[in-house]
């Protein structure tokens, strides 16, 4: 489902991701000193520095650079998006939510530190994310842009964002009548809105005009949805390969997925449309500077795991 061949020069996407992720990891490491009370800072660092692809922060830096900003302008915001993402994973893993024992190959926060500390680590990471942007964004960015970016992040996290997606997802558990519209609502809110905030905030802090901000917003929403459609497709094809059968576990389970609602071919067609629409939004930007976002959309569309 890759988009049309890129109008861009050679670009080593893997090297780009590794370089940017290393920069983000170093900044995240510095963002939480191991101060007293040790237990809470240890728990925050444990989850934040446990690996992960760093997709949201890298997208934030890429959007900032695409609109002509220096990445240092968006680095605190890039870290903030990863803090929010990490806290949402900690809370998602809790016994009262998904009740998971492992995350990123390690024991989940509540398994390692206990449920009380895991909840507090999530709360502290959420609070730090906003503090970090307000306190650490270089003073060369106008206060107006910083405030706009903070509002974007807040909206993506709260009851019109991640929290909305999670509560509707919980409510739809076991519901056999989940529609395509319901599924799209859940994925847009649980996944796409934070990706949107990462890209939109990167663009705002990098100095983008309003039209460019709206283009990258549409790009990110489509890529966020694409991420979940491909996830659903891989769940089916992976388990089909593992089982040596034609129907994978997600076609058989109760959970609503794109392959279940659209069929496997329909889901693949939808993924193709999304990657095409996402890349169209990049057409007006300098192709060299837009290359990372272009290749990112294609990476999401063609990933195999
Ligand atoms: C946000 C206040 C607040 C509370 C949390 C639990 C919850 C509300 C929301 C759930 C959010 C959630 C777990 C969404 C799934 C997001 C997703 C696509 C995760 C996988 O992201 P990757 O592949 O993971 O980027 P890595 O490990 O690479 O970072």
Nearest CA to ligand 1 atom 26: 52
Cα 18 to ligand 1 centroid, rounded to whole Å? 21
Domain chopping of the chain, boundaries? 13-302
Give the global pTM: 0.94
Helices (H), 188-282: 193-205, 210-243, 249-252, 258-262, 264-280
Nearest CA to ligand 1 atom 18: 191
Closest-lying ligand 1 atom to the alpha carbon of residue 84 = 1
Q: What is the ipTM of this complex?
A: 0.96
Confidence of residue 68 (pLDDT cuts 50, 70, 90): very high
For residue 43, pLDDT over 70 is answered with yes
Cα 103 to ligand 1 centroid, rounded to whole Å? 11
In 3D, which of 54, 63, 78 has the Cα closest to residue 219?
63
CATH assignment of 13-302, given 1.10.600.10, 1.10.3720.10, 1.10.8.420, 3.90.76.10?
1.10.600.10
3-state secondary structure of 283: coil
Q: Which pLDDT score, from 0 to 100, does residue 11 have?
A: 85
The mean pLDDT value of the chain amounts to 93
How far apart, in whole angstroms, are the C-alpha atoms of residue 32 and residue 97?
26
Residues 112-155: pLDDT tens digits?
Answer: 999 999 999 999 999 999 999 999 999 999 999 999 999 999 99
Q: How far is CA 50 from CA 28, 38, 132, 147, in A?
A: 11, 18, 20, 30
For residue 38, pLDDT over 70 is answered with yes
Q: What is the mean pLDDT of residues 156-165?
A: 98
Instruction: Find the largest Cα–Cα distance for the chain.
Output: 58
For residue 248, pLDDT over 80 is answered with no
Tokens of 21: 């992720």
Cα 214 to ligand 1 centroid, rounded to whole Å? 24
Mutate which of 190, 231, 234 for ligand 1 pocket (most atoms within 8 A of beta carbon): 190
- The answer to whether 271 touches 301, Cβ cutoff 8 Å, is yes
Pair type for strands 102-103 and 106-107? antiparallel
Nearest CA to ligand 1 atom 16: 191
Tokens of 94: 């809790």
DSSP 256-272: --HHHHH-HHHHHHHHH
Confidence of residue 242 (pLDDT cuts 50, 70, 90): low
Confidence of residue 34 (pLDDT cuts 50, 70, 90): very high
Query: Of all helices (H) and strands (E), which one includes residue 103?
Result: strand 102-103
CB-hemisphere CA count at 13 Å for 213?
16
């Amino acid at each position: 489902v890759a988009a049309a061949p890129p109008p861009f020069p050679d670009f080593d996407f893997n090297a780009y991701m590794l370089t940017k992720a290393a920069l983000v990891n170093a900044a995240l490491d510095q963002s939480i000193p191991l101060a007293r009370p040790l237990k809470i800072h240890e728990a925050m660092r444990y989850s934040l520095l446990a690996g992960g692809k760093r997709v949201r922060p890298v997208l934030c830096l890429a959007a900032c650079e695409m609109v002509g900003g220096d990445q240092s302008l968006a680095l605190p915001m890039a870290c903030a998006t990863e803090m929010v993402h990490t806290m949402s994973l900690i809370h998602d893993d809790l016994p009262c939510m998904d009740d998971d024992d492992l995350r990123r190959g390690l024991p989940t926060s509540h398994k390692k530190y206990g449920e009380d500390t895991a909840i507090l680590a999530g709360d502290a990471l959420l609070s730090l994310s906003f503090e970090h942007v307000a306190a650490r964004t270089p003073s060369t960015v106008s206060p107006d842009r910083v405030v706009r970016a903070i509002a974007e992040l807040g909206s993506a996290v709260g009851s019109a964002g991640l929290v909305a997606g999670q509560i509707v997802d919980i409510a739809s558990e076991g519901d056999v009548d989940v529609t395509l519209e319901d599924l799209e609502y859940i994925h847009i809110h649980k996944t796409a809105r934070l990706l949107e905030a990462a890209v939109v905030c990167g663009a705002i802090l990098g100095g983008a005009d309003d039209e460019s901000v709206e283009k990258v917003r549409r790009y990110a929403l489509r890529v966020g949805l694409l991420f979940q459609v491909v996830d659903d497709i891989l769940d089916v094809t992976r388990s089909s390969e593992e089982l040596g059968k034609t129907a994978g576990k997600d076609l058989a389970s109760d959970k609503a997925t794109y392959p279940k609602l659209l069929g496997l071919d329909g889901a693949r067609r939808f993924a193709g449309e999304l990657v095409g629409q996402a890349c169209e939004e990049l057409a007006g930007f300098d192709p060299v500077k837009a290359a990372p976002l272009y290749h990112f959309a294609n990476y999401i569309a063609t990933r195999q795991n």
